[in-house]
Amino acid sequence: MPLLGACVVPHPPLILPEIGQGREQGIADTIAAYQETAAWAAAKNPDLVVIVSPHAKMYADYLQISAGERAEGSFAAFGHGEVRLQADYDTIFVKHLSGLADSIKLPAGTLGRQDGELDHGTMIPLRFLQQAGYKGKIVRIGLSGLSRDHHYALGVLIKQAARDLNRQVVLVASGDLSHKLTADGPYGFDPAGPVFDKRMGECFAQGDFLKLLTTPAELADSAAECGLRSFWIMAGALDRQQVKARLLSLEGPFGVGYGVAVFEPQGNDESRNIGEQAAELHRQEMDRLRANEDPYIALARYSLETYVRTGKRGTLPVDLPAELTSNQAGAFVSLKKDGQLRGCIGTILPVRENLALEILHNAVSAGTADPRFGPVTAEELPDLVYDVDVLSEPEAIESEQELDVKKYGVIVECGQRRGLLLPDLAGVDTVEQQVSIARKKGNIAANEPVKLWRFTVTRHI
pLDDT along the chain (461 residues), means of 10: 93 96 95 98 98 95 95 94 96 98 98 88 98 97 95 98 97 98 92 97 98 95 96 98 98 96 97 97 95 97 98 94 96 93 95 97 98 94 96 95 96 95 89 95 94 96 88
Is the Cβ–Cβ distance between 257 and 178 less than 8 Å? Answer: yes
What are the pLDDT digits (tens) for 222-248? 999 999 999 999 999 999 999 999 999
Quick one: 372 and 323 in the same domain?
yes
* Single pTM value for the model: 0.91
Proportion of the chain above pLDDT 70, given as a percent: 100
Q: Are 306 and 314 in contact (CB under 8 A)?
A: yes
- pLDDT at residue 3, as a whole number: 95
pLDDT at position 339, please?
85
Query: Are residue 19 and residue 79 in the same domain, yes or no?
Result: yes
* Host domain of residue 397: 392-461
**What is the SS3 assignment for 52?**
strand
- Do both 276 and 303 map to the same domain? no
Supply the CATH number for residue 184's domain.
3.40.830.10
Q: Which pLDDT belongs to residue 272?
A: 97
Distance CA 450, CA 453 (A): 10
Per DSSP, the three-state class of 318 is coil
pLDDT at 1: 63
Per-residue pLDDT at 329: 96
The pLDDT of residue 97 is 98
- The CATH number of the domain where 437 resides is what? 3.30.1490.150
* pLDDT on residue 437: 95
Of the residues 384, 409, 424, which one is the last residue of a structural domain? 384
Say if residue 299 is in the same domain as residue 409: no
Number of separate domains in the chain:
3
